[in-house]
Amino acid sequence: MTEPILQVEDLVVRFGSGRAQKTVIQQVSFDLHPGETLSMVGESGSGKTTIGRAILGLAPVSDGRVRFRGEDIATASRAGRRRIARDIQVVFQDPYSSLNPSMRIEDILVEPLAAAGIRDGRRRVRGLLDAVGLPADAAARYPREFSGGQRQRIAIARALALEPAVIICDEPTSALDVTTQATVLQLFQDIQQATGVAYLFISHDLGVVHRISDRIAVLYRGEIVELGDAEQVATRPAHPYTRKLQMAAPIADPTIQRERRLARIAALEETS
């Protein structure tokens, strides 16, 4: 296997100070390889989004290390931090609030390029729109003229603008309907196959990430309680909390739904 592109080692995140200090991430370690999708799954408050924010420098790293291509992000030089910021991009949860409503799509896509000192940004816009399946004339329009799924495609195009090595996807489909979710997830996979980008995919839904992930890490109260092959974790989980997430994941197949209900009843009878 290739060397990891991203390494998180014994990460601890605390907020507050003194007696009010609260530890929200406890000794979390994992790595991410080029072209891989590692999904972090857990209920609201489990700490998965905080881990993503710590990698991006938006939450404090109280202890431990985050390394990108072997370089400690916290101690990197100013030039190193700028380079890392280009190589690690993010797609946020809400496609309605993540795009500036007063800006045309072309300007939204050019903005990160201009900030990075890339002068031919406007020439790249058509290619970015094409990469996410939107027509060239979308460049002249405003976010309000697009559906939620289309807005998320625009957000993905913006994340792709700087040709990053890693994209952190923070619940990128949770605000979308089921059909649009499937379309956007397929888009993520198509982009990965074309570019080799690695994803850290954050979700509360084990069912959503099952098919797109290479590995899955399960977060519970700020700790990783299970980490392994996606198929193994999603279908044959070892930890009780992962089994709880598995039971909660919606699924269209009525036979599997019935089997899950029976398994849940049997488990309750065993513990009664």
Average pLDDT, the chain: 89
Does 1 reside within a domain?
no
| H-assigned helices in 58-133 | 78-87, 105-115, 121-131
Domain that holds residue 117: 6-271
- How confident is residue 1, by pLDDT bands cut at 50, 70 and 90? low
At 133 the pLDDT is 93
CATH of the domain at 50: 3.40.50.300
Structural domain tally of the chain?
Answer: 1
Q: How far apart are CA 204 and CA 43, in angstroms?
A: 5
Q: How far apart are CA 259 and CA 256, in angstroms?
A: 5
At 253 the pLDDT is 46
Contacts of residue 106, defined as CB under 8 A and 6 or more positions apart, other chains included, come to: 122, 125, 139, 140
Q: 176 phi and psi, to 5 degrees?
A: -110, 155
Q: How far apart are CA 160 and CA 162, in angstroms?
A: 6
- How confident is residue 95, by pLDDT bands cut at 50, 70 and 90? confident
Q: Which of 16-20, 223-227, 236-240 has the lowest mean pLDDT?
A: 16-20
The rounded Cα 205 to chain-centroid distance in angstroms is 12
pLDDT tens track for 101-158: 999 999 999 999 988 888 888 889 999 999 999 999 999 999 999 999 999 999 999 9
| pLDDT higher than 80, residue 269 | no
Sheet holding 71-72, edge to edge: 22-32, 6-15, 63-68, 71-72
Whole-number percent of the chain with pLDDT over 90: 68
- How confident is residue 268, by pLDDT bands cut at 50, 70 and 90? very low
